[in-house]
Structure 1
Amino acid sequence: MLILIISLLFFLALLPVLIPFFKSSERSPLELEQNELQELLAEKQTVYAAIKELEFDQQAGKLSLEDYEQARQSYELRAIALLQAIDLLGGQQGSLDERTRGARRQ
């Protein structure tokens, strides 16, 4: 009886960990792209905020000009990559929307 109780408690403890493996991820490609787009937009805002803070730190004299330029260039490159990814996803999402609208009309 004790072994049964221990086994049951062990199973109940593992249940929250095992549930995601048994759930089917039947998300549509549109939902996945929207989630990815939201993540990219959030990261873009983070990078922009970091650039503003970097400018503030440089104006306050906390950073040397060389460190400021190096960090800013790094942030700007990341922002460019994010903007390109957002544009790419936005274009793909638009074409997916058109295909789903066309499929619904037929």
Structure 2
Amino acid sequence: MQQAPEEARKEIAAMEEESRRTMAELREVPAGKQFDIEFARRIISHHNSGIIELLEAQPRADHPQLKVAATTGIVSQEAQSADFRTWLSGQAR
């Protein structure tokens, strides 16, 4: 982390703070169905942010392996988000 550019360090620090905030909020939710729903909602948002970041590598990355890894990450996170959305849609009943 010390060798990362300042902009990257700031972004990492912001992501870590967001993760701490999310975890603190989730700790306040009682275990059970409500926790499951809140967790799914938050992980969808988390994955969407990840997808946006991974999309950045597509036009700009120089190394083919990085582009492949980013594409794999996008596909994986999109699939997981779809699974969580499907599960959530069944909880509204």
Q: TM-score range by the shorter chain?
A: 0.5 to 0.7
List alignment gaps of at least 5 residues for structure 2: 1-16, 26-40
Identity %, equivalent residues: 15
- Does the Cα contact within 8 Å between 2:54 and 2:70 map onto a contact in 1? yes
Tell me which residue corresponds to 1:41.
55
State TM-score, norm by structure 1.
0.47
List, as ranges, runs of 4+ consecutive aligned residues in structure 1 with deviation greater than 4 Å.
none
Equivalenced residues, count: 59
Aligned CA distance change for structure 1 residues 80 and 101 (closer, same or farther; 3 Å): same
How far the C-alpha of 1:84 sits from its partner, in A, is: 0.9
Query: After superposition, where does 1:60-79 map in structure 2 within 5 Å?
Result: 75-79=63-67
Give RMSD over aligned pairs. 2.4
- Structure possessing the higher radius of gyration over alpha carbons: 1
Paired with 1:101 and 1:38, the residues of 2 have a C-alpha distance of 24
Deviations 1:1-48 (A, max 9, x none): xxxxxxxxxxxxxxxxxxx69x8434711111111111111122322x
State TM-score, norm by structure 2.
0.53
Deviations 1:35-94 (A, max 9, x none): 1111111122322xx4xxxxxxxxxxxxxxxxxxxxxxxx11111111111111111011
